[in-house]
Amino acid sequence: MAKKVPNSADYIAALNMNGLKGRMLHMPAPKNQNREILFVYGHHSSLERWWGLMLNLNRYGAVTMPDLPGFGGMDSFYAIGKEATIDNLADYLATFVKMRYKRRRFIIVGMSLGFVIATRMLQRYPELTKKVDLLVSFAGFTHKDDFSFSRRRMLAYRTAAGFFSLPVASSFFRHVCLNKYVIRTVYRHTSNAKAKFSGVVGEELHEMLDIEVRLWQDNDVRTYMKTTTEFLTLDNCKVQVDLPVHHIAVEADQYFNNQIVEQHMRIIFKEYHVMANLKLDKHAPSVIADAKAAAQFIPPKLRRILASLGK
Protein backbone atom coordinates (compact mmCIF):
# COMPACT_ATOMS: atom_id res chain seq x y z
CA MET A 1 0.00 0.00 0.00
CA ALA A 2 1.33 3.43 -0.94
CA LYS A 3 2.30 5.66 1.96
CA LYS A 4 -0.24 8.43 2.57
CA VAL A 5 1.08 11.89 1.68
CA PRO A 6 0.64 14.24 4.68
CA ASN A 7 -1.82 17.09 4.22
CA SER A 8 -1.44 20.34 6.16
CA ALA A 9 -5.20 20.48 6.80
CA ASP A 10 -4.93 17.34 8.95
CA TYR A 11 -2.73 19.20 11.44
CA ILE A 12 -4.50 22.56 11.65
CA ALA A 13 -6.80 23.43 14.55
CA ALA A 14 -8.63 26.54 15.73
CA LEU A 15 -6.72 28.98 17.93
CA ASN A 16 -8.80 31.35 20.03
CA MET A 17 -6.77 33.52 22.37
CA ASN A 18 -6.99 37.04 23.79
CA GLY A 19 -10.28 37.61 21.97
CA LEU A 20 -8.79 36.80 18.58
CA LYS A 21 -9.65 33.86 16.34
CA GLY A 22 -7.05 32.17 14.18
CA ARG A 23 -5.46 28.80 13.56
CA MET A 24 -2.51 26.74 14.70
CA LEU A 25 -0.59 23.96 12.98
CA HIS A 26 0.71 21.22 15.24
CA MET A 27 2.50 18.06 14.14
CA PRO A 28 3.14 15.50 16.92
CA ALA A 29 6.66 14.26 17.50
CA PRO A 30 7.80 11.12 15.65
CA LYS A 31 8.31 7.97 17.67
CA ASN A 32 11.14 8.16 20.24
CA GLN A 33 11.51 11.95 19.81
CA ASN A 34 10.67 14.39 22.59
CA ARG A 35 11.75 17.75 21.24
CA GLU A 36 9.30 20.66 20.97
CA ILE A 37 9.90 23.10 18.11
CA LEU A 38 8.11 26.44 17.90
CA PHE A 39 8.22 27.99 14.43
CA VAL A 40 7.39 31.70 14.20
CA TYR A 41 6.73 32.74 10.62
CA GLY A 42 7.47 36.10 9.05
CA HIS A 43 5.72 38.66 6.88
CA HIS A 44 3.34 37.67 4.10
CA SER A 45 2.64 34.28 5.65
CA SER A 46 0.12 31.59 6.39
CA LEU A 47 0.29 28.12 7.90
CA GLU A 48 0.08 26.56 4.45
CA ARG A 49 2.91 28.80 3.17
CA TRP A 50 5.40 26.99 5.43
CA TRP A 51 4.10 23.42 5.12
CA GLY A 52 7.17 22.11 3.25
CA LEU A 53 9.53 23.41 5.92
CA MET A 54 7.35 22.00 8.71
CA LEU A 55 7.58 18.52 7.18
CA ASN A 56 11.36 18.78 7.45
CA LEU A 57 11.43 20.11 11.02
CA ASN A 58 8.93 17.48 12.14
CA ARG A 59 11.56 14.77 11.63
CA TYR A 60 13.24 16.06 14.79
CA GLY A 61 10.31 16.65 17.12
CA ALA A 62 6.84 18.05 17.57
CA VAL A 63 6.33 21.20 15.50
CA THR A 64 3.95 23.99 16.45
CA MET A 65 3.26 27.06 14.33
CA PRO A 66 0.59 29.53 15.50
CA ASP A 67 -0.99 32.21 13.40
CA LEU A 68 -0.12 35.75 14.46
CA PRO A 69 -2.80 38.47 14.78
CA GLY A 70 -3.48 39.93 11.34
CA PHE A 71 -1.60 37.19 9.48
CA GLY A 72 -2.76 33.98 7.83
CA GLY A 73 -6.41 35.00 8.04
CA MET A 74 -6.35 35.53 11.82
CA ASP A 75 -8.23 38.45 13.38
CA SER A 76 -6.03 41.53 13.66
CA PHE A 77 -5.22 43.52 16.78
CA TYR A 78 -7.32 46.32 15.31
CA ALA A 79 -10.41 44.16 15.85
CA ILE A 80 -9.89 44.54 19.62
CA GLY A 81 -8.73 48.15 19.58
CA LYS A 82 -4.96 47.53 19.67
CA GLU A 83 -2.16 48.37 17.23
CA ALA A 84 -0.09 45.83 15.32
CA THR A 85 3.17 46.77 17.03
CA ILE A 86 6.17 44.50 17.60
CA ASP A 87 5.57 44.82 21.36
CA ASN A 88 1.96 43.64 21.04
CA LEU A 89 2.96 40.76 18.78
CA ALA A 90 5.69 39.79 21.25
CA ASP A 91 3.20 39.86 24.13
CA TYR A 92 0.81 37.70 22.14
CA LEU A 93 3.56 35.18 21.37
CA ALA A 94 4.57 35.10 25.06
CA THR A 95 0.97 34.32 26.05
CA PHE A 96 0.90 31.50 23.50
CA VAL A 97 4.22 30.09 24.76
CA LYS A 98 3.07 30.14 28.38
CA MET A 99 -0.19 28.45 27.44
CA ARG A 100 1.32 25.89 25.09
CA TYR A 101 4.51 24.81 26.81
CA LYS A 102 3.90 25.48 30.52
CA ARG A 103 6.59 23.30 32.16
CA ARG A 104 8.05 21.99 28.90
CA ARG A 105 11.25 23.17 27.22
CA PHE A 106 11.25 24.11 23.55
CA ILE A 107 13.26 25.24 20.54
CA ILE A 108 12.50 28.52 18.75
CA VAL A 109 12.97 28.88 15.00
CA GLY A 110 12.12 32.43 13.91
CA MET A 111 11.82 33.30 10.23
CA SER A 112 12.71 36.90 9.32
CA LEU A 113 10.08 39.08 11.07
CA GLY A 114 9.20 36.05 13.20
CA PHE A 115 12.71 36.21 14.65
CA VAL A 116 12.23 39.90 15.43
CA ILE A 117 9.04 39.07 17.35
CA ALA A 118 10.67 36.15 19.17
CA THR A 119 13.64 38.34 20.15
CA ARG A 120 11.36 41.05 21.52
CA MET A 121 9.40 38.40 23.44
CA LEU A 122 12.58 37.16 25.12
CA GLN A 123 13.59 40.73 25.91
CA ARG A 124 10.22 41.52 27.50
CA TYR A 125 9.90 38.16 29.25
CA PRO A 126 13.47 37.15 30.16
CA GLU A 127 12.18 34.30 32.37
CA LEU A 128 11.27 32.44 29.17
CA THR A 129 14.92 32.15 28.16
CA LYS A 130 15.31 29.44 30.82
CA LYS A 131 12.88 27.23 28.85
CA VAL A 132 14.61 27.61 25.46
CA ASP A 133 16.96 24.80 24.40
CA LEU A 134 17.94 26.40 21.09
CA LEU A 135 17.28 29.75 19.42
CA VAL A 136 17.54 29.72 15.63
CA SER A 137 17.41 32.76 13.36
CA PHE A 138 16.22 31.81 9.90
CA ALA A 139 17.22 34.87 7.81
CA GLY A 140 16.34 36.94 10.86
CA PHE A 141 17.31 40.53 11.64
CA THR A 142 17.35 42.88 14.62
CA HIS A 143 17.83 46.46 13.39
CA LYS A 144 16.66 48.77 10.61
CA ASP A 145 20.25 49.18 9.45
CA ASP A 146 20.39 45.47 8.62
CA PHE A 147 18.47 46.25 5.42
CA SER A 148 20.59 46.72 2.32
CA PHE A 149 18.15 49.19 0.73
CA SER A 150 19.30 52.61 -0.34
CA ARG A 151 18.18 55.60 1.77
CA ARG A 152 15.84 56.65 -0.98
CA ARG A 153 14.22 53.22 -1.14
CA MET A 154 13.92 52.99 2.66
CA LEU A 155 12.23 56.39 2.76
CA ALA A 156 9.85 55.40 -0.02
CA TYR A 157 8.91 52.15 1.76
CA ARG A 158 8.41 53.86 5.14
CA THR A 159 6.28 56.61 3.62
CA ALA A 160 4.08 54.19 1.67
CA ALA A 161 3.70 51.80 4.61
CA GLY A 162 2.84 54.63 6.99
CA PHE A 163 0.18 55.99 4.63
CA PHE A 164 -1.44 52.61 3.91
CA SER A 165 -1.52 51.72 7.61
CA LEU A 166 -4.19 54.41 8.04
CA PRO A 167 -7.78 53.04 8.19
CA VAL A 168 -9.20 54.59 5.00
CA ALA A 169 -6.02 54.09 2.97
CA SER A 170 -5.69 50.45 4.07
CA SER A 171 -9.31 49.80 3.10
CA PHE A 172 -8.67 51.28 -0.36
CA PHE A 173 -5.53 49.19 -0.73
CA ARG A 174 -7.34 45.99 0.26
CA HIS A 175 -10.35 46.41 -2.02
CA VAL A 176 -8.70 48.03 -5.04
CA CYS A 177 -4.98 47.22 -5.11
CA LEU A 178 -5.41 43.66 -3.87
CA ASN A 179 -8.00 42.70 -6.44
CA LYS A 180 -6.79 39.37 -7.86
CA TYR A 181 -6.60 40.79 -11.37
CA VAL A 182 -4.45 43.69 -10.19
CA ILE A 183 -2.11 41.33 -8.35
CA ARG A 184 -1.78 39.10 -11.39
CA THR A 185 -1.06 41.92 -13.82
CA VAL A 186 0.74 44.55 -11.73
CA TYR A 187 2.27 42.91 -8.65
CA ARG A 188 4.32 40.40 -10.61
CA HIS A 189 6.22 43.31 -12.21
CA THR A 190 7.34 44.97 -8.96
CA SER A 191 11.01 44.64 -7.95
CA ASN A 192 10.32 42.26 -5.04
CA ALA A 193 8.00 40.06 -7.09
CA LYS A 194 10.50 39.88 -9.95
CA ALA A 195 13.01 38.35 -7.53
CA LYS A 196 10.42 35.83 -6.31
CA PHE A 197 9.34 34.83 -9.80
CA SER A 198 12.78 34.80 -11.39
CA GLY A 199 13.03 31.82 -13.74
CA VAL A 200 9.45 30.68 -13.01
CA VAL A 201 7.23 30.07 -16.03
CA GLY A 202 4.14 28.19 -17.16
CA GLU A 203 1.96 26.32 -14.68
CA GLU A 204 4.39 26.91 -11.84
CA LEU A 205 4.05 30.67 -12.32
CA HIS A 206 0.24 30.43 -12.32
CA GLU A 207 0.34 28.37 -9.12
CA MET A 208 2.64 30.85 -7.42
CA LEU A 209 0.42 33.76 -8.46
CA ASP A 210 -2.66 31.99 -7.07
CA ILE A 211 -0.93 31.54 -3.71
CA GLU A 212 0.32 35.13 -3.72
CA VAL A 213 -3.26 36.32 -4.26
CA ARG A 214 -4.42 34.28 -1.25
CA LEU A 215 -1.55 35.52 0.92
CA TRP A 216 -2.20 39.15 0.10
CA GLN A 217 -5.93 38.81 0.63
CA ASP A 218 -5.68 36.72 3.84
CA ASN A 219 -3.24 39.04 5.57
CA ASP A 220 -4.73 42.17 7.14
CA VAL A 221 -3.51 45.24 5.24
CA ARG A 222 -3.23 47.55 8.28
CA THR A 223 -1.22 44.90 10.10
CA TYR A 224 1.03 44.32 7.10
CA MET A 225 1.70 48.03 6.67
CA LYS A 226 2.08 48.83 10.37
CA THR A 227 4.55 45.98 10.90
CA THR A 228 6.44 47.14 7.80
CA THR A 229 6.77 50.58 9.37
CA GLU A 230 7.85 48.96 12.63
CA PHE A 231 10.66 46.86 11.18
CA LEU A 232 11.89 49.66 8.90
CA THR A 233 12.44 51.74 12.06
CA LEU A 234 13.49 48.81 14.28
CA ASP A 235 16.14 48.80 16.99
CA ASN A 236 16.14 45.54 18.98
CA CYS A 237 19.66 46.20 20.30
CA LYS A 238 18.60 47.99 23.50
CA VAL A 239 18.10 44.88 25.67
CA GLN A 240 20.37 41.85 25.81
CA VAL A 241 19.11 38.25 25.71
CA ASP A 242 20.84 35.63 27.85
CA LEU A 243 20.91 33.00 25.11
CA PRO A 244 23.21 32.08 22.23
CA VAL A 245 21.75 32.58 18.77
CA HIS A 246 22.34 30.28 15.81
CA HIS A 247 21.90 32.18 12.58
CA ILE A 248 21.09 30.84 9.12
CA ALA A 249 22.04 33.46 6.55
CA VAL A 250 21.24 33.51 2.84
CA GLU A 251 24.28 34.55 0.83
CA ALA A 252 22.39 36.48 -1.84
CA ASP A 253 19.59 37.75 0.44
CA GLN A 254 17.91 40.58 -1.43
CA TYR A 255 16.95 42.33 1.80
CA PHE A 256 19.83 42.19 4.29
CA ASN A 257 23.50 42.96 4.68
CA ASN A 258 24.69 39.82 6.48
CA GLN A 259 27.76 41.46 8.02
CA ILE A 260 25.67 44.16 9.69
CA VAL A 261 23.11 41.54 10.79
CA GLU A 262 25.94 39.72 12.58
CA GLN A 263 27.20 42.91 14.27
CA HIS A 264 23.80 43.66 15.74
CA MET A 265 23.14 40.07 16.85
CA ARG A 266 26.46 40.04 18.69
CA ILE A 267 25.25 43.06 20.69
CA ILE A 268 22.03 41.36 21.78
CA PHE A 269 22.85 37.70 22.36
CA LYS A 270 25.25 35.96 24.71
CA GLU A 271 26.88 34.15 21.79
CA TYR A 272 26.57 34.31 18.01
CA HIS A 273 27.05 31.25 15.80
CA VAL A 274 26.69 31.04 12.02
CA MET A 275 24.88 27.82 11.31
CA ALA A 276 25.14 28.27 7.54
CA ASN A 277 25.51 30.83 4.80
CA LEU A 278 23.17 29.28 2.27
CA LYS A 279 24.25 29.51 -1.36
CA LEU A 280 20.80 30.56 -2.49
CA ASP A 281 19.46 33.56 -4.35
CA LYS A 282 16.27 34.21 -2.36
CA HIS A 283 15.46 35.36 1.16
CA ALA A 284 13.01 32.50 1.78
CA PRO A 285 11.68 29.31 0.18
CA SER A 286 9.22 29.64 -2.66
CA VAL A 287 5.56 29.92 -1.68
CA ILE A 288 5.03 26.56 -3.36
CA ALA A 289 8.07 24.84 -1.82
CA ASP A 290 7.31 21.22 -0.94
CA ALA A 291 9.33 19.19 1.57
CA LYS A 292 12.07 18.44 -0.97
CA ALA A 293 12.45 22.06 -2.08
CA ALA A 294 12.34 23.41 1.48
CA ALA A 295 14.95 20.91 2.72
CA GLN A 296 17.80 23.01 1.35
CA PHE A 297 16.91 25.75 3.85
CA ILE A 298 17.72 23.46 6.81
CA PRO A 299 21.52 23.15 6.80
CA PRO A 300 23.33 19.98 7.92
CA LYS A 301 24.63 21.67 11.09
CA LEU A 302 21.08 22.42 12.26
CA ARG A 303 20.01 18.88 11.45
CA ARG A 304 22.86 17.51 13.57
CA ILE A 305 22.01 19.75 16.51
CA LEU A 306 18.29 18.94 16.33
CA ALA A 307 19.10 15.24 16.16
CA SER A 308 21.31 15.44 19.26
CA LEU A 309 19.07 17.58 21.48
CA GLY A 310 16.86 15.60 23.83
CA LYS A 311 18.89 12.40 23.63
Classify residue 102: in a domain, yes or no: yes
Q: At 187, is the pLDDT very low, low, confident or very high (cuts 50, 70, 90)?
A: low
Classify residue 222: in a domain, yes or no: no
Classify residue 32: in a domain, yes or no: yes
User: What pLDDT is stored for residue 1 in this prediction?
Assistant: 45
pLDDT at 168 over 70: yes
User: What pLDDT is stored for residue 286 in this prediction?
Assistant: 65
Share of the chain above pLDDT 70, in %: 90
pLDDT at 156 over 80: yes
Domain count, the chain: 1
CATH number of the domain at 91, please.
Answer: 3.40.50.1820
Classify residue 140: in a domain, yes or no: yes
Q: Which of 29-33, 103-107, 167-171, 183-187 has the lowest mean pLDDT?
A: 183-187
CA distance linking residue 193 with residue 185, whole number of Å: 11
Classify residue 119: in a domain, yes or no: yes
- Which range marks the domain in which residue 140 is found? 8-148+234-305
Q: At 197, is the pLDDT very low, low, confident or very high (cuts 50, 70, 90)?
A: low
Classify residue 183: in a domain, yes or no: no
Q: Which of 116-125, 199-208, 256-265 has the lowest mean pLDDT?
A: 199-208
Q: Which of 65-79, 241-255, 296-310 has the lowest mean pLDDT?
A: 296-310
Which one, of 223, 134, 212, 140, lies nearest residue 180 by Cα? 212
pTM of the model: 0.91
User: How far is the first Cα of the chain from the last one, in angstroms, to the nearest whole number?
Assistant: 33
pLDDT one-digit tens code per residue, 198-247: 666 567 777 777 778 888 888 999 999 999 999 999 999 999 999 999 99
Average pLDDT over residues 168-192: 80
Classify residue 56: in a domain, yes or no: yes
Classify residue 226: in a domain, yes or no: no
